[in-house]
Amino acid sequence: MAKEKAQKTNAMRILDRAKVSYRVNYYECDEFIDGVHIANQLSQPLDSTFKTLVATGKSGAYYVFVIPVAETLDLKKAAKAVGEKSVELLHVKDIRAVTGYIRGGCTPIGMKKQYPTVLHTSAMRFEEIILSGGCLGAQIFLAPADLVRVTHALVTDLLMENGA
């Protein structure tokens, strides 16, 4: 089991090739509930732990949105950020076919294709953010500027306002 856990994911190999400095945290994950549950279980701050959401635009194109794990994506802001009339989140059953990753292991780095990626502005406040490592039970810690560089992400506000 330990040997299996030490295997690098596609995301990690891409970061290595790009000469990006990052850290990996492997943890036990029998069942994925949600990112907030994992962050709490690992005593990690919710504001610097990010989740990866994939959406489809009205045009049929796919987009990747990276936001704090406890927050809600504002679909109108997301659509505006990518120049679409509207976007809707990808159904869980379609995640693997579109990204190559499973729910809970989805990361913006190393998907089947490099989809337009948008990172929420709050990420830039941190020296390091936490993302899924590309499989259940693995996390990547890296500088947000490196994530932007590797994914060519746009950085903008994507969050639902409180009370909205």
Sheet with 50-57, side-by-side order of all strands? 87-89, 50-57, 62-68, 117-120, 154-156
- pLDDT tier, 6 (very low <50, low <70, confident <90, very high otherwise): low
What backbone torsions phi and psi does residue 121 show, to the nearest 5 degrees? -55, -30
| 11-126 is classed CATH 3.90.960.10 | yes
Q: Where are the domains of the chain?
A: 11-126
pLDDT single digits (tens) 98-153: 999 988 889 999 999 999 999 999 999 999 999 999 988 899 999 999 999 999 99
CA–chain centroid gap for 30, Å, is: 20
